[in-house]
Chains A and B, each alone.
Chain A
Amino acid sequence: MPVRNLNSQFFRGVATVTEKNMRIYYTKPPVIIYGLLLPLIMFIAFYLGRDIDFRFFFPGLLAMFLFFIASSVGPLITPWEKRAGTYERLLSFPVSVNTIILGDTAAGMIFAIVINLVVLAAGLIFLHYSLNVLLLTGGVLLGAFCFASLGVLLASPAAPNPSYIMMASSLIRFPLIFISGILIPLEKLQGTVRVLSYFSPISYLVDILNFSFGGHAQYPLIFDFAMLFAFSVVFIFLSNKFHKRNLMKGL
């Protein structure tokens, strides 16, 4: 097959990798457990029995769901494919490592956006907000991309079993929840926790969503978007570096 345009071949590759991931990995138990059940359990554990204004808590909940779901698909794919023996075959197709990374990222991103739309719709039905739709859309899109690329980065170490990666990724993802203004508002974070919150990409999405739902933002919105973008670039760059380094490990 002749290649007329390498750019169109690249995007076709990304779309096909994404389609493959959507067909195969969305229903895998680790994605359901670590992506859907875990944030739900965390939410219930935190919310039940406490006197919390749910309207105030909802933007953070949305950010938490987006984070867990978007970053749950990526860590599974590469280790799973290496164990199943499909990764070497995938690499033999006319794709580059970047094609695979972006395809895996897109799969996590789409999954998170679709589930989040359901959570958002439920929130909008029961709670009444004056929404900034444009800001919400931009934040969710960039946030989903950022968290999904973190998921792909977490998949880069060579591991004999996908469950090792899923557990290790949970160790990194869980602490972020406590320093990102989800359970405790950003403005109430003090000292070290406050400093640490700057290093969590979720903090910036929470800030964008708080403003989108009619609340107040802690940082200038342009700063929030810039930070999410910067985190995405760093995650994609590191993913490329580490996936290339560990490409043939575990085959």
Chain B
Amino acid sequence: MKAENDNIIEVDGLTKRFGSLTAVDQISFSVKGGEVFGFLGPNGAGKTTTIRMLTGLLTPDSGKAFIDGFDIKKNPIRAKMKMGVIPETGNVYVDLTAKQNIILTGKFYGINRRELEKRADCLLGEFGLYERKDDVVRTFSKGMKQRVNIASAVVHNPDILFLDEPTSGLDVQSQRLIRKIIKEMNKRGTTIFLTTHNIEEANIQCQRVGIINKGRIAAIDAPENLKRIFEETQSVEISFNKPIDSGLIENSQFAERIEQIGDKWKLYTDNPDGLVKYLAKLAQEQGLILTSMQICRASLEDVFVKLTGDNPIR
């Protein structure tokens, strides 16, 4: 049964248990066609279990998931034809060449040989691998292998692309290239379902993010809306011309929490104005030169920490 609304992914009460552990506990959400949806959560929160249920690798104990209207439990093959998957632990065949990997994947989707050759060459060019197309993947770097992985996953022009930590452990160039490709695929109409530990990546790329914690959905909204919920979590980032002792700024009545980030200090506050004035006065008294100072709104990372801490706000 095809969905009549514009949701391409619909999840309703999805639950998965492993023995006594409930890895995913009655989660429900939907993703609109053409959306870039980020799925965030700390390790063991249930991200991979959710993605494995959505892609038909794991059978849910209860609840339903629809991919473009197809029930993944009842119609796994039809649902899988709609998607491309880059699993967290998914590697390409290192004994095959880059081109052979792409062509092999295409065959699973019934693309004819001539069309496959054309698409493989095109993708290899797009992913910067054309010169190495006939080399076995064993000789590739991790970033190049991941590019082959993604090129293979999109050879059939899927409507939905599931990516489980796609840039984890990759060099900067590969990360940027993969982000660019994801963006371009989304422009062409592909829905992106992205799980990542990299909150900044989700902040930049995703139109909406879902945060999962201990198997339950803690929040789902646009990054900016989520940040607005935590307006009180503002901070002042400051750096001086020379290292200072934390005790110097610790006593401020305005700062609730202090964090050292490299050569900078981040002071969380609900009164940034008072804190800035206090810090300026302190610098003058101590003969310190302010090399940078800025007031920061709550970041997506702050929201994530708040939601996935010991006492998550639901």
The residues of A with any CB-CB pair to B shorter than 8 Å are 1-3, 6, 8-10, 12-13, 15-16, 19-20, 23-24, 84-86, 88-89, 91-96, 247-248, 251
Contact = CB atoms under 8 A, between A and B. Distances in A.
11 contacts: A1-B81, A1-B109, A1-B110, A1-B156, A1-B157, A20-B104, A85-B89, A92-B80, A92-B90, A94-B77, A96-B77
Contacts of A94: 76-77, 80-81, 108-109
Contacts, number: 89
Nearest to A13: B108
Interface in B49-79: 52, 55-58, 76-78
B107 A92 contact: no
Nearest to A6: B77
Nearest to B87: A88
A12 B107 contact: yes
Contacts of A13: 108
A215 to B, nearest CB: 43
B235 interface: no
Given A13-B108, A16-B108, A88-B57, A23 B77 contact: no
B151 interface: no
B229 to A, nearest CB: 35
B91 A3 contact: no
Contacts of B107: 12, 15-16, 19
A99 to B, nearest CB: 9
Given A19-B104, A23-B100, A94-B108, A3 B57 contact: no
A20 B105 CA distance: 10
Contacts of B149: 89
A16 B156 CA distance: 15
Given A13-B108, A86-B90, A88-B57, 4 more contacts: A23-B100, A86-B91, A92-B87, A95-B108
B95 A92 contact: no
Interface in B245-296: none
Contacts of B55: 92
Contact of A12 (B92, B108, B157): B108
Q: Report the interface size class on chain B.
A: 35 or more
A96 B90 contact: no
B130 interface: no
A3 B78 contact: yes
Given A20-B104, A24-B95, A85-B90, A92 B85 contact: yes
Contacts of A16: 104, 107-108
What are the 4 tightest A-B residue pairs by CB atom distance, in nearest-first order?
A89-B90, A92-B85, A85-B91, A94-B80
Nearest to A25: B95
B111 interface: yes
A88 B81 CA distance: 16
B96 A24 contact: yes
B6 to A, nearest CB: 19
Most chain-A CB neighbours within 10 Å: which of B58, B108, B109, B162?
B108
B57 A248 contact: yes
Contact of A23 (B89, B95, B110): B95
Contacts of A92: 55-57, 80, 83, 85, 87, 90, 162
Contacts of A86: 90-93
B96 to A, nearest CB: 6
